[in-house]
A = this chain, B = another copy of it.
Amino acid sequence: MEQYNIDELRELVEAKKYVELKTILAEQNEIDVALFLEELDPEPATVVFRILPKEMAAEVFAALSAPVQQHIVEAITDRELSAIIEDLYIDDAVDMLEELPANVVKRVLRNAKPDTRTLINQFLKYPDNSAGSIMTAEFVDLKKAMTVRDAFAYIRRTGIDKETVYTCYVIDASRRLEGVVSVKDLFLARDDQLIEEVMDRNVICASTLDDPEEVAHLFSKYGFLSLPVVDHEQRLVGIVTVDDAVEVIEQEATEDFEIMAALSPSETPYLKTSVLSLAKNRIVWLLVLMVSAMLTGGVLGKFEHAFAAMPLLVTFIPMLTDTGGNAGSQSSTLVIRGMAVGEIENRDFLRVLWKELRVSMLVGAILSLVNFVRLIITYPGNEMIALTVALSLFATVVIAKTIGGVLPMAAKFLKADPAIMAAPLITTIVDAVSLLVYFNIAMRLLNI
C-alpha cells in the first residue's frame, strides 16, 4: 500500500536532491513520510524532516518514534521547535514529552506559548492509565444559543486547529457539558435553527480517571467518532478520538497476548527490542513457573515406587498433562477474552461454572473413550491400565476446564488481571492435580 518506492527516495536523500524529494514527500500521507524517516539514520532523517512542507511537519513529527523525535528536537532551532509544538495536538505533545529526557522537556516547554504550556502541564498530570492520558484538548465547543449558521461560521473560523470538527460539544458558561451535535445534524438542520434545538442532550461521556480500555469499549460498542471527557465537576476537559481508541484496543489485545504467554508486557515492537530486554521480559515468569513445576516434580517423587514397579505408567504422563493443560487453556482463554470484550461479567460466575462442567464432561468422555479403545488395542490384556488412564483423563479434563473457567473470574474479582490465569499458570496447576489423580487411581486400581 506504500505510495512511493522507498529505495528511490533513499537515493534522492543520498544525492542530496532535496527539491525533488520535497515535491514527492509533499504528496504522501504523513504516516508514510514518518515511516520513511524511521528507515533513515538520525542525521539524514533530521535533514529531510526540516525540508518538509510546514503544514505537514507537526503530523509527521507526531507519528515518529521517541528516539527520532528527540534527535530532531535537539537539532532544530528554537523557532522551528516552537512552531511544531503549537501545531501538535495536546495528546501528541504530551506523549512526546513523556518520552524525552528532562533537559529536552525543559527546552520544549520554554519554546511553547504560555497557554500551550499551561495546557501541557495540566495534561501531563493525568495518570498513565487514564482517559485523561489519551484525550486531546482540540475540540469544537458551541453554545446552545448559537444558530446553526453561527455554528458553521465558528467551525470554519477555528476548525483548522481542531483534531476533529465532526462532533461538536455544547457547553454552558462554566464549561459544563450540555449536549452534543454532529456536523451531520447541522447539515440536516435549517440555518436559523438554534443549537439547543438540534443538539442531543443524552451524552455518553467518560471521566478523566476512567480506564482507557473501558473508554475504548464505548467506541466499539456505539461506533463513536469521538467521546467527551469530563472532570469530577462535569466540566468538559477534553475528547478522545476514534484513532486513539483503535490504538488502545490494539495495545490492550497485545498486552493480553503477552501476559497470557507468561511475558511481561512491553510496548516496543519485537524487532526494535534489544535481546537483553526481551530476555528480561521472559525470565521472571519462566523462573516462577519453573519453580512451580519443580513442586509438581515433588508430587511425582511421592510415587517413585509406583513407576519403579510399573514403568509403563510413565509413558502416559505427557498425554495426560498436555491434554489437561490444553483443555484448561481453552476454557481460560474463552473466559479471559469474554471478560476483555465485556461479554462476561462477574455476575456470570455460576453460569460459566455450570457451562464448563457440562462441556468438560462431554469433551472428557469422548477423549477418555478414544484413549481407552486405543490402549485396549495397543496393550491387549492390560484392561486395568487402560481403565486407569481413561478415568484419570476424564477427571483431569473436568478439573482442568473448571479451574480454567473459574480462575480468571476469581482473579478479576480480586482486582488482578484475569489474563495471568492463562495457559502457563493453568498448565502448571493442572499438571500437579492430574498427576495426583493419576497415581492415586493407579495405586487403587492396579494394587501397587
A183 and B166 form a contact (CB under 8 A): yes
In the complex, how many angstroms separate the beta carbon of A311 from the nearest chain B beta carbon?
Answer: 4
Min C-beta distance of A73 to chain B, whole Å:
23
Nearest opposing residue in chain B for A218, CB measure: B1
Q: Are B275 and A359 in contact (CB under 8 A)?
A: yes
Question: Which of A80-88, A98-106, A111-119, A286-294 participates in binding chain B?
Answer: A286-294
Query: Which residues of chain B come closer than 8 Å to A323, judged between CB atoms?
Result: 286, 289-290, 293
A247-267 toward B: CB 8 Å interface, digit per residue (1/0)?
101100110111011110000
A370, B352: Cα distance in complex, Å:
39
- Given A262-B330, A319-B297, A330-B262; A351-B271 close (CB under 8 Å): yes
Question: Which B residues touch A187, using CB under 8 A?
Answer: 152, 155-156, 159, 165
Name the residue on B nearest A184 (C-beta).
B165
Q: With A297-B316, A314-B307, A423-B261 given, is the CB distance from A289 to B322 under 8 Å?
A: yes
Contact present for B3 and A204 (CB under 8 Å): yes
Once bound together, how far apart are the Cα atoms of A344 and B270, in whole Å? 8
Q: A300 to B321, alpha carbons, bound, how many Å?
A: 14
* Chain A residues with a Cβ under 8 A of chain B: 1, 3, 27-29, 31, 152, 155-156, 159-160, 165-166, 183-184, 187-188, 201-202, 204, 218-223, 225, 242-243, 245-247, 249-250, 253-254, 256-258, 260-263, 269-271, 275-276, 278-279, 282-283, 285-287, 289-290, 293-294, 296-298, 300-301, 304, 307-308, 311-312, 314-319, 321-323, 325-327, 329-330, 332-338, 341, 343-344, 348, 351-352, 355, 358-359, 362-363, 366-367, 370-371, 374, 423-424, 427-428, 431-432, 435
List 19 extra interface pairs beyond A293-B323, A297-B318, CB under 8 A. Answer: A27-B201, A31-B223, A159-B188, A220-B246, A242-B242, A246-B246, A249-B250, A261-B334, A263-B333, A279-B363, A286-B367, A287-B370, A290-B367, A304-B315, A307-B307, A318-B321, A322-B427, A326-B427, A329-B423
